[in-house]
Structure 1
Amino acid sequence: MVTRFQRYGQIADVLIKYGFGILVEEVFPGSERLRAFKKRQKVEERSVYERIRLAIEELGPTFIKFGQITSTRRELLPPELIEELQKLQDQVAPLPYSDVLPVIREYCPNFGECFDLIEEEPCAAASLSQVHRAVLKDGSVVALKVQRPGIVDLIEIDLLILRSLADRVEMMYPDLRVYNPSGIVDEFALQIRRELDFVQDGKNAERLGRNMRDVHGVRVPKIYWNYSGTRMLTMEYVEGVRIDDVDALRKMGLLPGELAERGFYAYIKQIFIDGFFHGDPHPGNLLVTDRGSIVFLDFGIVGLLRPEKKRRFIDLLLAIVETDVDRVIDAFKHLGVSIKPEDLENVKDEIYLVLVDYRDMQIQQFDFGMALMGLTDTLRRYRIRVPPTLMLMLKVIVMVMDVGTALDPTFNFDRKIRPYITEIVVQERFSPKRVLGAGHAIAEAVDSLVALPRSIADTLQNVSEGSITLEVEKSNLAQIVDTLDHVTDKVLIGLIVAAIVVGSSLILRVSDVVLPDYITWLAIMGYAVAVVVGFYAIYHAIGYRSDGGR
């Protein structure tokens, strides 16, 4: 097994090979002088972003995964680098069957009693695992997703190195701290460790399958838990072609436009209804069977949305399609995007230009994805950090649009999203759960109103006891005294109104039992007086504010 220091050396060699020796020298002074240069390729003819991508591919699975996940952070990285990172291929040379056989034996000690056949040649190979086709004793055809031996140890070493690099970059380049390199590495570490747990992968598949069971023409492979564990996942084997292979789909007698609509609805349901969505919809993870069913594969990356986040993301999309800048800013705020007050007006101006361009060019099939990228480019220019879940959603929507356009060049996201979103909004507003939630909010508001007199009394007691300290300037003392007089008057009026309302309510509650009629009328008059005084207080407050507080 490679040690941490050996891995440092391998990483330095690869960076030097692709022309990043200066970076190695700055981050690890003296390291370039201590090791011989490998014979360089002609990297000067390639762009810096292409060389970054090539270096990442050569550095292996941890860095490939890091690049793939980082490619979703459009608000952090320049578009040219994003484009290169999206080209990262997770295809590697397969391991010999003898290397993965111990993993299979770990979960099926007597695998000859479990399987009639295991094909030694893998049908797919990736950086974390490879897949072997097999046949169970009952005749079921399955796919064995087997983790590569030693991959966990290598990834843990790489994660330690990535974290130390991030810490050193933050120390050496303080301006980059706004991008939170250490935080990005920590998020990535959490994600890749989840991907290494094939039990979680299987649970994600089953949950998605339950959510999609009523969607016509959409399937999720069945998981065989008797032959699965942390390092091996056995699932139903599905024959099909990639969803972007339009010629093959037509030869199968399928209509690409119908598939685009079906896949689009499946993701709308996952994101906006279920709040649990497949997070890596590249064409290799979406197969189409000869019967026209779309089959989802690879469930290591999923997104999870709480109900309130779903509503806010719906608000964001509606604000974009309706070119409403203020609603975009409000949705961003509730989704965890923090914009500095001094940048707010400039950010709103730039977002307005993006939305106006989108509105004016919709008739020309302007790509909705360009509007999303325009928004994230604006956030990047102002160094505004965006929560990973939001960026994952935006990435998924852009990828779904790309697949939809590949299947149907007339695919129009704006026209298709409106009826779905409108229906979802109506259903949410009038759902029993929402009504009960509104009732709960009203009850809380009533409780707060009932507690108001007590809160005012506590405040006045603190004032009388000297528990509240005010620091004032002598020049403003007269104005402050005048303001306190007005505030005291309003508090007094409020207390009187509250006392009348409470007293009248108590009288009316018992008047038909022990009190004469005139007492009831007095209580009603008390209500009337409270209403008049209340309106007077409101009028007085408005008049005071219109006079500038004088």
Structure 2
Amino acid sequence: MVTRFQRYRQIADVLVKYGFGILVEEVIPGGERLRGFRKPPEEKRSVYERIRLAIEELGPTYVKFGQIMSTRRELLPPELIVELQMLQDRVAPVPFRDIRPVIKKYCPNLEDCFDIIEEEPVAAASLSQVHRAVTKEGRIIALKVQRPGIVDLIETDLLILQSLVTRMDSIFPDLRVYNLRGMVDEFSAQIRRELDFTQDGMNAERLARNMHDVPCVKIPRIYWQISGPCLLAMDYVEGVRIDDVEAIRALGLFPEEVADIGFSAYVQQIFVDGFFHGDPHPGNLLVTDQGEIAFLDYGIVGVLRPERRRVFVDLLLAMTRTDVAGVITALGRLEVHISPADLDAVKDDLYLVLLDYREMKLERVNFAVAIRGLTDTLRRYHIRVPSTLMLMMKVIVMVMDIGTRLDPQFNFDQQIRPYLIEIAAQQRLSPDNVTGAVRSLVNAAEGLLAIPGNVNETLKTLSEGTVTIELENRDLNEIVDVIDRTSDKIIVGLVVAAIVVGSSLVLRIADLPVPGYVTILATAGYVVAVIVGFYAVYSALRYSRGLRR
């Protein structure tokens, strides 16, 4: 098992190799000591290409992270997106002697389960490799086997990634707008799901149920009796890659028909079922000699709740109609926050994007232009978007690319609009919507009927005098202090007035025989009263000026 320190050193060496030594010093703890050499070799490749090469050399965790980030067009420059889409998830296969113990965890005696297991894998990737086998019943199956030790390596990498983004947030505050920590947390959850092959199997079965009535779509059957978290057994599918036009024609099939099948399948998955295959690169879509499209690799799937599907339909319809207000409304319903200060500028940019899309010649219309324009606008204004929306847009763009490769006349706009209009109408009148509307009416009626009873109960409580009113004032202490100062001044005023009145009475009767000291006291009382009076007036004036300030 690789320790965190060893892994930090490996990461530092790779980054320096591709010219990112400054990043090592700034972000990696002890980066100055970890750097193997000060000056990297001369680089003539672009920075984005070097990022891709570094990611590929860093291994499976970073490759997967890069592949997921390739969907975030609203965050990353287009040049980097292109490079990330080129990430290769191919590695040297693990020797079968190391793979055998993993298979034996689920089938202790291999001879009882299989007639043959081919030791040479038919495919090898960073998380797993696939071996073809023949069961005792004569079925040809594929065994997807998890690479030994991969879980420990990925968990170590995830800890390092979380540490790195924390340091980057503190060192580069401008990056906080991209929510790097949130992206790493989301990626951590995603790759842990991919490491659990039982989840893959469950996704495959759900997709098979949804696609059961869709013609020419094939989802391999899962064999649970010899499957588990580290091994997935399924039907082996023979076929050619969906982007291999010549091989499809060699099977006696028409690529244009294959494009229509794939398009219809994805429309059904996204907008009807709300559960779609999220990684439609050509290696995961095979065309069989029966003209079926087989979907492989179910680690990345998208899930759309019914209310989200309705909003996505409205969003795409608004884009095909070049309706900027409709696009902004749909984004708002998806809880995409656009700063009021940027709203007009965003509308102007979206209008230009949709105008460019609408004014393209019909035979050159490509809906990907509108989608990329939308995501570029979101990126320009640092607008955060739900990851499900970006995954859906990535899938649509990839499906369009495959469609145009199979059929140069494939027109997404003309194909998708009738589907969207029909789906929107069905959704508006769907049983769920009707039930929700009826429930809302019933709740409103119950609320209206409850009003007289509530009013009567309130009046009864008031008449019984059992109402308790609680007042909360954070400035209550200040109010008490003001009242205390005011009462003190009133008391002083009353005392002064009493002294003045008493002294006046004494002086008025001065012609009567009274002791001399009484007159002196009366005069002294006058003097004291005058002094106290002047002081009270001075204090009042000073306090009022302080309030005005």
1:61-105 residue CA offsets vs partner (Å, 9 max, x unmatched): 000000000110111101000000000011111111111111011
Larger gyration radius, structure 1 or structure 2: 2
The whole-number CA distance in structure 1 between the counterparts of 2:68 and 2:315 is 23
- Verify: 1:337 aligned to 2:336, yes or no: yes
* Equivalent in the alignment of 1:286: 285
- Verify: 1:383 aligned to 2:346, yes or no: no
Q: Secondary structure at the match of 1:5?
A: helix
* Equivalent in the alignment of 1:191: 190
* Equivalent in the alignment of 1:232: 231
The whole-number CA distance in structure 1 between the counterparts of 2:156 and 2:385 is 28
**Contact 2:12 / 2:34 at 8 angstroms: preserved in 1?**
no
The whole-number CA distance in structure 2 between the counterparts of 1:50 and 1:358 is 29
Following superposition, the deviation at residue 27 of structure 1 comes to 1.3
1:428-439 pair list within 5 angstroms:
428-439=427-438
Following superposition, the deviation at residue 246 of structure 1 comes to 0.1
**Contact 2:16 / 2:35 at 8 angstroms: preserved in 1?**
no
* Equivalent in the alignment of 2:211: 212
* Equivalent in the alignment of 2:484: none
1:38-62 residue CA offsets vs partner (Å, 9 max, x unmatched): 99554x2000000000000000000
* Equivalent in the alignment of 1:31: 31
Following superposition, the deviation at residue 321 of structure 1 comes to 0.4
Q: Secondary structure at the match of 1:358?
A: helix
Following superposition, the deviation at residue 446 of structure 1 comes to 2.6
* Equivalent in the alignment of 1:21: 21
Corresponding letter in the other structure for 1:19:
G
* Equivalent in the alignment of 2:10: 10
Q: Say if 1:458 and 1:317 are closer, same or farther in 2 by CA, change over 3 A.
A: farther
Q: Say if 1:165 and 1:250 are closer, same or farther in 2 by CA, change over 3 A.
A: same
The whole-number CA distance in structure 2 between the counterparts of 1:362 and 1:343 is 31
Q: Say if 1:350 and 1:118 are closer, same or farther in 2 by CA, change over 3 A.
A: same
Corresponding letter in the other structure for 2:357:
Y
Q: Say if 1:12 and 1:457 are closer, same or farther in 2 by CA, change over 3 A.
A: farther
The whole-number CA distance in structure 1 between the counterparts of 2:457 and 2:77 is 55
- Verify: 1:69 aligned to 2:68, yes or no: yes
Corresponding letter in the other structure for 1:110:
N
1:309-355 residue CA offsets vs partner (Å, 9 max, x unmatched): 00000000000001111111111111121111211111111111111
Gaps of 5+ in 1: 471-550
Q: Secondary structure at the match of 2:133?
A: strand
Following superposition, the deviation at residue 30 of structure 1 comes to 4.9
Q: Say if 1:387 and 1:454 are closer, same or farther in 2 by CA, change over 3 A.
A: farther
Q: Say if 1:194 and 1:30 are closer, same or farther in 2 by CA, change over 3 A.
A: closer
Stretches of 4+ aligned residues off by more than 6 angstroms: 453-462, 464-470
Q: Say if 1:34 and 1:328 are closer, same or farther in 2 by CA, change over 3 A.
A: closer
Following superposition, the deviation at residue 33 of structure 1 comes to 4.4
**Contact 1:71 / 1:85 at 8 angstroms: preserved in 2?**
yes
**Contact 1:91 / 1:126 at 8 angstroms: preserved in 2?**
yes
Superposed CA RMSD in Å reads 2.2
* Equivalent in the alignment of 1:299: 298
Following superposition, the deviation at residue 366 of structure 1 comes to 2.4
**Contact 1:130 / 1:147 at 8 angstroms: preserved in 2?**
yes
1:364-403 pair list within 5 angstroms:
364-403=363-402
- Identity of counterpart residues, as a percentage? 67
The whole-number CA distance in structure 2 between the counterparts of 1:455 and 1:74 is 53
**Contact 1:13 / 1:38 at 8 angstroms: preserved in 2?**
no
Following superposition, the deviation at residue 31 of structure 1 comes to 2.2
Q: Secondary structure at the match of 2:341?
A: helix
The whole-number CA distance in structure 2 between the counterparts of 1:41 and 1:453 is 83
1:90-105 pair list within 5 angstroms:
90-105=89-104
**Contact 1:21 / 1:32 at 8 angstroms: preserved in 2?**
no
Gaps of 5+ in 2: 474-549
Following superposition, the deviation at residue 251 of structure 1 comes to 1.1
Q: TM-score, normalised by structure 1?
A: 0.82
Q: Say if 1:345 and 1:136 are closer, same or farther in 2 by CA, change over 3 A.
A: same
Following superposition, the deviation at residue 459 of structure 1 comes to 10
The whole-number CA distance in structure 2 between the counterparts of 1:49 and 1:119 is 39
Q: TM-score, normalised by structure 2?
A: 0.82
- Verify: 1:445 aligned to 2:444, yes or no: yes
The whole-number CA distance in structure 1 between the counterparts of 2:317 and 2:28 is 49
The whole-number CA distance in structure 2 between the counterparts of 1:34 and 1:421 is 55
